[in-house]
Amino acid sequence: MLPPPHPFAPFVRALGRGKTLTRSLTLEEAEQAMTMILAGEVLPEQLGAFLMLLRVKEETGDEIAGFTRAVRAALPAAAGEVDLDWPCYAGKKRQSPWHLLAALALAGAGWRIALHGLDGHTEGRLYAGETLARLGLPPARDLAEAREQLASRRFVYISLERLSAPLARLLWLKPILGLRSPINTLARGLNPFGAPASMQAVFHPGYVAVHRDAALALADARALIFRGDGGENERRPNKPCETTLVAGGEVIEARWPATLDPRQTDEESPAPERLAALWRGEPGAYGEGAVLGTLALALYGLGVEPEPAAAEARARAIWESRARGRLA
């Protein structure tokens, strides 16, 4: 006797009925599906099929919005007031994570910055958590400590494992499945502290539209979306940067010209020590260009400076007035 249909089966069926019958999930279906996944009500076979069918089809903005709504509803209460949400999930492969210095400089200038990520889910990359720990800025061990760090230094990094263990386990499936999944997209727009502004860098340009549509569907206050270096929230100073800002239900697009010669690259392997040296004032044209460019994008995303030129000028002032020396 056949078992009764599983409640999750309709979601897999919708995604896997072939070229003519396959369809995307509605926002409401995506929210229901993710709610079941987080609750452990899905069989392993179903979960793998679901994630990979989405990967082949490619997720839509409504699907990501539905997933995000479900995860946000399951998150613990916010640990403190935050001005800017800064996801760090990609890791850096070819350049050092210069964007971390931009976040620290912003915090030093008075804004409250919350970083979150998951170290090590892709081999051969330097991640934010391990980098900050080696610089004397260890991750928050729990939400109580996150609240303390935000209050004392206006800066915190917390692992996704401390925010949502079920979601972290889904990201850890990448080495098993061999491919990224929509969870990588979802994590970038999670905004677990409910900040009024967020940075959502992508690696593949096609995902800009997915993040844009999700932010609109979720009615997020401000979300700055752009192609970041390696997929991190870091501007590439030797290339133009196209930004999409979702603000108050409107979409604003801008083009930022390169600030360095296109031939000027950073060819050394990523290392925390290089960040510490640049912070102390040792020269590094590419690293400084990446920090200044990222700072400018953050100010623009926050709504502090509405024009790229003004944002870049203020970014330089913030960087030059930072307290040099040790980071911690």
Contact (CB, 8 A) for 132 and 107: no
Question: So what's the pLDDT on residue 251?
Answer: 98
Exposure on the CB side of residue 61, measured as CA atoms within 13 A: 15
Question: So what's the pLDDT on residue 327?
Answer: 79
DSSP string, 41-101: -S-HHHHHHHHHHHHHH---HHHHHHHHHHHHHHSPPP-S--SEEEEE-S-BSSS--THHH
DSSP assignment letter at 2: P
Question: So what's the pLDDT on residue 307?
Answer: 94
Contact (CB, 8 A) for 100 and 117: no
Residues of the chain with pLDDT under 50: none
The label of the residue with tokens 């929230």 reads: 233
Domain spanning 84-320: which CATH class is it, in words?
alpha beta
Question: So what's the pLDDT on residue 79?
Answer: 62
Question: So what's the pLDDT on residue 2?
Answer: 76
Question: So what's the pLDDT on residue 267?
Answer: 65
